[in-house]
Amino acid sequence: ILISLVDAGIMLWVSVRGRRETFTTALLNVLALVIGAVPIALPLVMQVTMAIGAAKMAKKKAIITHLTALQEVASMSILCSDKTGTLTTADMRVLPSKMWTRKGFSKDDILVLAGVASNPANKEDPIDKAVLQSV
């Protein structure tokens, strides 16, 4: 992207000084170049940014197995966590008595939403299994 911006600056200067185009015409041509270059560079920029983020998280002892997982985490609005070791033993249970909800949502609402978000076809997933058993 930086190279595109430098190229755009050079193109603007050459157009105005060397070719004697009006500034407005030259600027429109440069904007067309920059707008065309951004979608081409975007996947590369995203991958590099996610790799840098994964490296920083790894320094803090986070386990990153797929870079696409970073995108999914960034788009989450609710995170359910567990620190008791049941994730590693695959013995999970949903305890409605221990659930906390925000205003406007009951525990039943949350269980129904969790059930809708779960995949009943995935019999091996301990989280889906626990949620579906609690609904």
Q: Which residues are catalytic?
A: 82
Cα 76–chain centre separation: 8
> What 3-state DSSP class applies to 130?
helix
Q: What is the DSSP string of 97-120?
A: GG----TT--HHHHHHHHHHHS-T
| Cα–Cα dist 77/69, whole Å | 14
CA-to-CA separations, 129 to 1, 6, 83, 92, 93, in angstroms, rounded: 46, 54, 18, 8, 9
CB 8 within 8 A of CB 34: yes
